[in-house]
Amino acid sequence: MQLPALKNLLGQQCHFVVPWEYKRTCDPPKDSWKKSSSLDHCFFSGYHGVCSEMRISKENPPAFMYALVLDFDTNRGFRDQQFLEAVEVAGDIKPAYIGHTKNNGARVVFLLEEPMPLINIPLTRLIQKHFSKKLKADRLFPGLCQSSLDNVTEYFEVGDRWEQVSNSRIPRKIAMQWAIEATRSYNWKKHDVVIPFDKVHEEVEKRWPGRWTGSFEKNKRGVRFWDDEAKNDTSAVVCESGMRCFSGPHGFMSWRDIFGNKFVAQYVADKIGGSTTDVWFDSKEYWLKRVDGSWGAFNRMDMCLHLKVACGLAGTAGKGENQSDVETALHHLQHHQPVECAAPLVHRPEGIVHTQAGRVLNTSKLRALTPSESPLVVPEEHFPFIAEFLGELFTKQDTVDQLSVFLAWLKRFYEGAHKLRLTNGHVLYLVGPTGRGKTLLSTVLISGLVGGHVDASPYLTGMDDWNSHLFESAVWSIDDVVALKDSRAHERFSALLKKIAANTCFTISEKYRKARQVEWNGRVVVTCNDDPESSRILPDLDMSNRDKVILLKVAPHTLRFPEDTALRIRLELPLFARWLLNWKIPEELLGESRYGIKEYAESSLIDLTRFASRGYGYFEMLQVFFKDWTSDNPWEGTSTDLYTEMIAEDGGLADIARRYTHIEFGRQLGKLMSSGYPISCCRTRHGRVWRINSRFFSRSADKLREEKGKNNE
């Protein structure tokens, strides 16, 4: 059987070996074991952690038990003959292997028939000690090392001269029984309900004041206080579920016998209330916190087990009762603690949150970065790298300081996350040359402030319909490597970004679970290069989208990033976070919209979005159509009129126009109008009539021909 092992005691990476078959490559001195990180040797354990490839520690507690390893120390050493003698004196279960240690001791290994699951270090320690006791380990050799029984994270040096002394294994059923015995922490009595002694004592003093003297605790002797005729001060002994009597008509009186059903029923009701605290029911599953603080979903059977084992509720009805304590608790949960659903609500208060969808149990553990406690922060002194990075990344464009725009967007985002009152905001686009730190800004700096990010490209581009994992993060990042196959994919992408920025309620789609409505007010951060292919990911900036997007242009010159760039940013982030909370957004950037700040789009990027949009092809068709237009009057007519005139044209324009319909023409004219082109529309009783500034498109065509001529020259 292979067991987890380390190459040296300073190592963290585990591998699996067969200790008794290990071939030594060195014979290191013992005093170097704990000092050398370059030692290539073997130190093994009978356990592996939750992460099987890492050594056992508080952060990586034991997850499975393969073997019980016992250490025996003596100055005289052990002869091989003693190994056989040890096997003879062992109990029914024999050790499998015995070897010599470097300090003249013996190492004994008992193997389990099957690996046994474990929970944590304290319970593993109890199991290890109990197994040693059951196996009568102290009879095998003198000098059983008790410290190794206390330390379950210890790794043993491989030793040498191993001998297989038996084929014995600890049977699975016996190992389970021993584990149950070792970890049994409660001793419930079968007579009746177990009630804490302080509550019993309080009721005794209330009903029979002064009848009991001294402390009221387990095994304490006193008078039969409920019997007025009792005089003997040592005739009764306190037990968990009642009083053991040495006089009177009964040998045992339960608390129910002494105080009556009402007292016991009230205690049980209070106990059930405590057992159902912070437990919620979503019409299908019960939600309660695990030991690690995360929320878990439990079906009815698992919940019954929890109520019986962890809460001590009775699973069967008592005398004269129709339902058990467990059934009463389940009924209470179903009728008094229901929720619409359990879902992650990032940067919202823990527990129950009232949303548009109703009462929702927030299962998110996401938290924003804790800012530094220092109230005064100078950027150049306290976070110099971040200050230089942001100062070089954004330059002033169109008389607008882009860095201030970015900081205003980031402050609103981080401040809401920090206060657990996150509100929706703009979609952020970072556009510029490669190697400038756009992705670093998105996935390290922004992500580090609000607790992480997730790649949302597969969902937003239509490659994946399952989105449940996205709502566990506050930042959805998208990179320009995402391929938008065609104009329809681009339209879908733009529509989704618009919906994300405008809405606060979304539908979670998850395998094997019903769809749920969840509130999400995170941010989408898109990074893309400024080349023609990458710019295809830019959104359509029509009137319905423009106020939901911030388009920032990254400076063209190149910064040199050190190898530890990400580490430097993480180290400076707490101070930057404090400065950001103290920083005041300039008045000119504050907006009256629901996003708190004004939208912004750098002028050259506006043109770039037009080129990337599907409607730009129709813009070029209008340029060709009006290139020889001589009238100063605008063109007027329906979309069908425009379509008819185009297909009647001589040349290639007619062939292009025939690929579309007059309905599509009307739709695209509307998009061009909402994008700011000189097109208007009015409704008449005969339909919609379009009015197009033909001279604008004619001049645009002339300008295009001039540019082509210059390029040819």
Candidate ranges 5-19, 454-468, 696-710; pick with highest mean pLDDT: 5-19
Tell whether the model's pLDDT for residue 577 goes beyond 50: yes
Residue 299: per-residue pLDDT = 92
Question: Quick one: pLDDT at residue 85?
Answer: 77
pLDDT at 315: 83
Q: What is the pLDDT of residues 401-428, one digit of tens each?
A: 899 999 999 999 999 999 998 888 889 9
Q: Which of 86-95, 360-369, 554-563 has the highest mean pLDDT?
A: 360-369
CA distance 685 to 699: 33
pLDDT digits (tens, 9 = 90+) for 162-183: 888 889 999 877 876 787 677 6
Tell me the percentage of the chain whose pLDDT exceeds 70: 86
Closest CA to 417 of 448, 438, 439, 376: 448
The angle at the Cα of 88, spanning 86 to 89, to the nearest 5 degrees, equals 70
d(CA 675, CA 604): 15
pLDDT range class, residue 542, cuts 50, 70, 90: low
Query: Who wins on pLDDT, 275 or 116?
Result: 275
Q: What was the pLDDT predicted at 512?
A: 63
pLDDT reading at 185 higher than 70? no
H, E, C per residue of 520-553: CCCEEEEEECCCCCHHHHCCCCCHHHHCCEEEEE
> What's the CA gap between 553 and 348, in Å, rounded?
32
Mean pLDDT computed over 528-532: 79
pLDDT at residue 143 in the model: 84
In sequence order, the β-bridge partners of residue 110 are 68
Residue 398 has pLDDT above 50, yes or no: yes
Are 603 and 551 contacting, i.e. CB atoms less than 8 angstroms apart? no
Evaluate if residue 712 carries a pLDDT over 60: no
Report the largest interatomic distance among the alpha carbons of the chain, rounded to a whole angstrom: 124
Task: Indicate whether 483 pLDDT > 60.
Answer: no
pLDDT for the residue numbered 463: 67
Q: How far is CA 201 from CA 186, 189, 194, 207, 209, in A?
A: 21, 19, 13, 10, 10
Q: How confident is residue 678, by pLDDT bands cut at 50, 70 and 90?
A: confident
Residue 646 pLDDT grade (very low, low, confident, very high; cuts 50, 70, 90): confident
Determine the pLDDT at residue 272: 78
Question: Which pLDDT value is given to residue 564?
Answer: 87
Name beta bridge partners: 67: 111
Segment 148-171 shows an average pLDDT of 89
In 394-483, where does DSSP find H-type helix? 402-418, 438-440, 447-450, 457-460
Q: How confident is the model at residue 128 (pLDDT cuts 50, 70, 90)?
A: very high
Domains, the chain, in order of start with CATH, read 3-183 (no CATH), 197-259 (no CATH), 263-338 (no CATH), 379-608 (3.40.50), 615-712 (1.10.10)
d(CA 478, CA 411): 21
Write out pLDDT tens, residues 91-106.
788 899 988 888 778 8
- Dist CA 495 CA 497 (whole Å): 5
pLDDT of 640 reads: 85
Q: What is the mean pLDDT of the chain?
A: 82
Share of the chain above pLDDT 90, in %: 21
What's the confidence (pLDDT) of residue 202? Answer: 92
Mean pLDDT lowest among 34-48, 208-222, 630-644: 630-644
Residue type, 280: W
pLDDT tens for each residue of 433-452? 888 888 899 999 999 999 99
Q: Name the token pair of 364.
A: 């998110």
Question: Is this structure's pTM higher than 0.85?
Answer: no
pLDDT score, position 562: 82
Distances in Å between the Cα of 450 and the Cα atoms of 379, 388, 551, 574, 686 are 20, 21, 21, 11, 55
Of these ranges, 323-337, 528-542, 648-662, the one predicted with the greatest mean pLDDT is 323-337
pLDDT at 530 > cutoff 50: yes
More confident site: 608 or 187: 608
Q: What is the per-residue pLDDT for 246?
A: 58
